[in-house]
Amino acid sequence: MTLEAILHALVETYGWDGLGERIPVRCFNVDPSISSSLRFLRKTPWAREKVEGLYLYMLRERQRRGGRR
């Protein structure tokens, strides 16, 4: 799973606003885009860890709810 695929899945599930609420970083809250977010996340290990953790949480919640969104 690539970081880009993880980011696309999170944006699809939560939207940029929801993602920015859950992980309050500028690249999610001010003029967000996949490319700017990827640049930031690749240079910022703590933020990448938070994104990966949120992705795993999202997967667990989907599984818990039986695959429904």
Q: How many domains does the chain have?
A: 1
User: Does residue 44 form part of some domain?
Assistant: yes
Q: How many CA atoms, within 13 angstroms, populate the side-chain half-sphere of residue 53?
A: 8
Mean pLDDT, 10 residues at a time, the chain of 69 residues: 97 97 96 97 97 97 78
User: Does residue 29 form part of some domain?
Assistant: yes
Cβ-based burial of 54 (10 A; exposed 0-12, middle 13-18, buried ≥19): middle
User: Does residue 14 form part of some domain?
Assistant: yes
3 state DSSP class of 31: coil
Range of the domain at 50: 3-64
Radius of gyration of the chain (CA): 12
Question: How far apart are the C-alpha atoms of 27 and 23, rounded to whole Å?
Answer: 10
pTM: 0.90
3 state DSSP class of 16: helix
